[in-house]
Amino acid sequence: MSGLRIRIFLLAATMSVADGHRCLADEVPTTQLGETISTLDGERQPLLSWAPATARSKPTPLLVFLHSWSSDYQQDNSKWLKLCAARNWIWLHPDFRGVNQSPKACGSRYARQDVLDAIAFARKRWKVDPQRIYLAGVSGGGHMALLMAGHHPEEFSAVSAWVGPTDLAAWHRFHTTNGESQKYAVMIEKSLGGAPGTSAGIDAEYRDRSSVFHLQRVADLPVSIWAGVEDGHTGSVPIRHSLTAFNTIAAAHGDPLISETEMRELSTLKRLMSPLTSDLERDQTLGKSILLRRHSGESMITIFDGGHESHPDVAFEWLSSMRHAVTNSADTTN
């Protein structure tokens, strides 16, 4: 991408193994510290990367992994990193304005551009396979992964999103008790300028940063949405966020929706009274009971017996099966 300046800093002399060493599944690779300068506002954004030596000459899959809500690029996501390196994929762990408690964080257009700038960083440094640019995230990273899928579907080959909030106004309400904003509601207010309903401008920010209002644009981009049925009971993100996100995709494709009755049953009874055939599928890699599984094109949703959690091996298995050419337009800013 023209205009993108890149600086690479080695964390230590031994860091050279981060670009040229194939890791075994039980090794934690040593990553490189890099930096992009935002093409929107010129702010520096750090990132961590790893790549096999062959990535400079051979088309190589890229995994962009997004940090969670209350963290930044330094978050320990070694389980994902190890599996990425074991597959000989490029690993990119970008910052996108850090913790979600400031106006340019929390899925803002600046944060979204940071992810695109990070992809441009990878394309300049390595030979990225344009049919295998994958995006994944958990919790707050799942929020951002689905938001990127909705705003920039042309940039990715497949997206794997786990237990992420998809409607920030609804999530704000969930974390408000007796009119008092709790932890996550306070963080949302710091990021978006106030509570839902404060002003038309603030409500527009809620809509812009909530993927449920944008996922109708994914078209043929494969999107995989995952959530444990206990989330919202023992975790911070009710499964309705995942269910409504999938419905947005299904509606755009003209496919059957998950019904309100089914949503209530899963949210309260934690099971379906009349499951469909697809809901009875087994997933040996997941190793947990599937309570709901629906498909729309190459996209799908799985609600499983679990909580606010992710299963990287499941994500990699699904992502590795996907090939979808991107349009190489990472300098868009919408």
Lookup: tokens for 201? 């401008």
Per-residue pLDDT for 219 more than 90? Answer: yes
| pLDDT tens-digit series, residues 78-122 | 999 999 999 999 999 999 999 999 999 999 999 999 999 999 999
Mean pLDDT of 130-149: 99
Residue 3's pLDDT band, with cuts at 50, 70 and 90, is very low
Lookup: tokens for 237? 């993100």
Q: What is the structure's pLDDT at 5?
A: 40
Mean pLDDT of 141-159: 99
Residue 334's pLDDT band, with cuts at 50, 70 and 90, is very low
Other beta carbons within 10 Å of 200? 7
Residue 327's pLDDT band, with cuts at 50, 70 and 90, is confident
Per-residue pLDDT for 22 more than 80? Answer: no
Q: Comparing C-alpha atoms, which of 262, 259, 246 is closest to residue 296?
A: 246
Q: What is the structure's pLDDT at 19?
A: 53
Residue 26's pLDDT band, with cuts at 50, 70 and 90, is confident
Q: What CA–CA distance (Å, rounded) separates 136 from 143?
A: 10
Mean pLDDT of 216-244: 98
Lookup: tokens for 48? 């961590």
Per-residue pLDDT for 167 more than 60? Answer: yes
Q: What CA–CA distance (Å, rounded) separates 48 from 269?
A: 42
Q: What CA–CA distance (Å, rounded) separates 114 from 64?
A: 12
The answer to whether 45 and 117 have CB atoms below 8 angstroms apart is yes
Q: What is the structure's pLDDT at 332?
A: 38
Q: What are the φ/ψ torsions at residue 140 (nearest 5 degrees)?
A: -60, -30
